[in-house]
Chains A and B, each alone.
Chain A
């Protein structure tokens, strides 16, 4: 496993290294002929039209794909023209007239004269629209209408209006429309607008492989606008080859849409990238299979621009480096010759061992060319091979002494009929070699596993190879492996699994069965029960009340506690209680005693059922008469004493 992981990491690291030095110097893909046919069929099957924008976009798309014979073309053209003409009189907005005029201009002499007949109506609409507000969009539409119909355009005023509109609202879309508008102005100094190109490109969102703006429409307009300006001014645009390639990659991610408008935008921009004189992104494509072997050693590549066509000038392609996944690098620096646009290279001139290889290419044009030059474009190719088992034997040896008790020689693809019996003192050893069918030499693979199964249980081991002798060994030490097996003794089926990235015939070989007896073997417990069940219920135990003393004792003591009262009465009588003096207080005394008695009744009720608040209220009530009566009573007693 480690072997595989490390080589995978090496491969991906190597690839990343290759790609990171030059992010996207080549396009990720190009339009295939199948793509072109599919899109063309899609565009031609949009009738009947629901709105003016549809035929406009369809025609724009078809123009980008180039004219080719199509069965229904004339009928298609007539329908488009008729549809456009039917809408002229009813259209009073600038956009509809823009569509109509563009459709007519595209269809040419079969449609344009009929539209020009209505030019007075069209011109009045245009002038009305421009009177109110001169937005960038309106300027674009009006200028395009005039150009389409072959009318005069006042370049100076239009340019001034463009600059004013840009000052008001400087968005990317408006700048793109400014490019498209300015490129239609005949013979005028457009430097003020053209110098905005670099800024606009710098504002695009970027990923390692693409460049784009927030909508496909804006991106498309920017690209077509930049190259329209380049064509107009005759100066190279301020866009690098990498930026152009990244724009191309973005367009290529949008080719599978079925929306006609989006297709038109993609195609128009792709055409601008394909057919300009300054920066043309290209791609290096593998036309042969990604798998080569000695029987089929040739790799074929071709150069293509975004719409799938070969570059207009002659190019030489050079194989710069050939790197094996393990890291071995060769620098063939071979120049490849082109035969009908295909460049062939026999990989086996420079490599011999199987595996995944990364080739880097560079291109060079014979003369000067707008097509982007490639310096280090990578391509991945796999050299495959087939293996078979050479010699193989299974042996049982003693753990401590190393003596071999039994040897069984194996023959691929047959299973062994003998069963090997191993106990805790022994070691199961398997030795085998893998032979490359073609070179007849020993080979190493990424995956050589030994699998032992018994019912549901399955244990894998890795067979390790000796780097010098290229022989694989698998050892099963019965003591150390007991943990892996869970000490489950029994008869196990043994098989060898061989696999590799570059292997054409990975296989699993059923070797036979072995009987393993582990020390302290456990009985087969079966599968663990993972079902969830409720745990036993916990009964809540309330706090136990403390035991009260038995009622006999409490009752006895209640009597005992009250008994001194009797003693008190006896003593008082003995001492000489002034019974006759009870009347001294008079009425007040009676009232006092009654109130005091009332207070004690309140206390009794408080003990039984009242709460503190109620008690306090009652006490407050009772304390008034108690105090008054008591006060008067004591005064009387005091005065009577004197």
Chain B
């Protein structure tokens, strides 16, 4: 019974996701999934061959993590359902912040990559 419940919950979730989520947000979600996958693969590699050179691993991993976080921020800020909390920040403004933060993040990442 429980397995049936889980399956039906998941199915419902996916259904409502497909229908109710705006396209823009779906695009961002896809981007987030991509980032996460990249991070996981990097981590697996490090676990396999060891941490040398450690700085390169950290830089790559932090790039993934940072990008993911910034992506999540963008999603939150551009979600129309959250509009009431972000009255002063338009989606364009959120996107501009997203871009600027990425530029800074990538400067740090490139510096650290060695």
Contacts and interface: CB of A to CB of B under 8 A. Distances in A.
A549 B92 contact: no
A568 interface: yes
A607 interface: yes
A561 B42 contact: yes
Given A567-B34, A568-B34, A575-B23, A553 B48 contact: yes
B30 interface: yes
Contacts of B31: 568
A557 B48 CA distance: 11
B103 A634 contact: no
Given A557-B45, A599-B103, A548 B92 contact: no
The range of chain B's interface size is 20 to 34
A605 to B, nearest CB: 10
A528 interface: no
B37 A575 contact: no
Interface in B22-55: 23, 26-27, 30-31, 33-34, 37-38, 41-42, 45, 48-50, 52
B52 A561 contact: no
Interface in B83-113: 90, 92-93, 95-96, 99, 103, 106-107, 110-111, 113
Given A564-B34, A572-B30, A548 B110 contact: no
A637 B92 contact: yes
A556 to B, nearest CB: 9
A160 interface: no
The range of chain A's interface size is 35 or more
Nearest to A608: B110
A638 interface: yes
B105 to A, nearest CB: 11
A360 to B, nearest CB: 94
Interface of B is mostly: helix
A571 B33 contact: yes
A615 B111 CA distance: 10
Interface string A199-220: 0000000000000000000000
Contacts, number: 72
Contact of B52 (A548, A553, A576, A606): A548
Nearest to B36: A564
Nearest to A566: B34
A619 B106 CA distance: 12
A188 interface: no
Given A572-B30, A575-B26, A603-B107, A560 B41 contact: yes
A612 B92 contact: no
A575 B38 contact: no
B50 A549 contact: yes
B49 A553 contact: yes
Contacts of B107: 603, 606, 615, 619
A537 interface: no
Nearest to B21: A575
A549 to B, nearest CB: 4
Interface string A566-589: 011001100111100000000000
Contacts of A554: 49
Contact of B34 (A565, A599, A606, A626): A565
Contacts of B23: 575-576, 578
Contact of A638 (B26, B34, B92, B99): B92
A2 to B, nearest CB: 74
A204 B42 CA distance: 98
B110 to A, nearest CB: 5
Contacts of A378: none
Nearest to A606: B110
A133 interface: no
Given A575-B23, A603-B107, A612-B111, A634 B95 contact: yes
Interface of B: 23, 26-27, 30-31, 33-34, 37-38, 41-42, 45, 48-50, 52, 90, 92-93, 95-96, 99, 103, 106-107, 110-111, 113
12 contacts: A548-B52, A557-B45, A564-B38, A568-B30, A571-B34, A575-B27, A576-B23, A576-B27, A630-B96, A634-B93, A635-B92, A638-B92
